[in-house]
């Protein structure tokens, strides 16, 4: 039995969207977002786990305090967007590489896109609208550090 391997130099048309070579830009995105994610993820872990009393300081008030500062709102939002798009695009590559059935691959890629989009939208909303002490909430439902109105 013999197997014919396609000539790697044979012409291959890469998918283009509006003149853009999306596979090339997806490849570049993985490298660039990877470098930025190293800074964002290790900065996130260092601040949450190494500074102050470390892991013992993490509670509702700690998160509320961080998200009252636009710096951490943007830090976490950029980390969320970069990591979700990076993870979803990486999974898309794995689906392209390993899933043989075109219909199954399509369903998986639609599911990947939808779950990434939903998590990005919800996460961004939470980071920018989180209010640890909502005005008018019943006193027994808000955190102990909130001024009871």
Site residues (vs ligand HEM, CB under 6 A): 30-31, 34, 37-38, 41, 83, 86-87, 90-91, 93-94
Q: How far is the CB of 124 from ligand HEM (least distance, A)?
A: 16
Segment holding 17, helix H or strand E: strand 16-17
Closest C-alpha to 130, from 64, 45, 48, 42: 64
**Beta carbon nearer to ligand HEM, 63 or 91:** 91
Write the DSSP symbol of residue 1. Answer: -
Beta carbon of residue 143, minimum distance to ligand HEM (angstroms, whole number): 30
Which of 94/114 has CB closer to ligand HEM?
Answer: 94
CB of residue 110 to ligand HEM, shortest distance in Å: 17
Report the residue number, 9 or 31, with the smaller CB distance to ligand HEM. 31
* C-alpha torsion 52→55→60→63, nearest 10: 60
Q: Toward ligand HEM, which CB reaches closer, 94 or 107?
A: 94
Element containing residue 129 per DSSP (H, E) = helix 102-129
Q: Which residue is nearest to ligand HEM (CB)?
A: 90
Length of the chain: 149
CB of 117 within 8 A of CB of 80? no
CB of residue 53 to ligand HEM, shortest distance in Å:
25
């Amino acid at each position: 039995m013999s197997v014919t391997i396609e000539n790697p130099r044979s012409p291959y048309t890469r998918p283009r969207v509006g003149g853009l070579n999306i596979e090339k830009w997806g490849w570049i995105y993985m490298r660039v977002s990877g470098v930025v994610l190293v800074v964002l993820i290790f900065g996130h872990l260092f601040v949450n786990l190494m500074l102050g009393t470390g892991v013992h300081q993490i509670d509702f008030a700690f998160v509320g305090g961080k998200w009252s500062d636009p710096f951490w709102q943007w830090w976490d939002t950029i980390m969320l967007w970069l990591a979700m798009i990076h993870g979803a695009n990486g999974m898309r590559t794995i689906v392209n590489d390993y899933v043989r059935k075109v219909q199954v691959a399509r369903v998986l890629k639609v599911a990947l896109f939808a779950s990434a989009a939903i998590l990005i939208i919800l996460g961004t909303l939470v980071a920018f609208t989180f209010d640890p002490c909502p005005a008018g909430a019943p006193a027994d439902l808000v955190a102990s550090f909130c001024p009871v109105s």
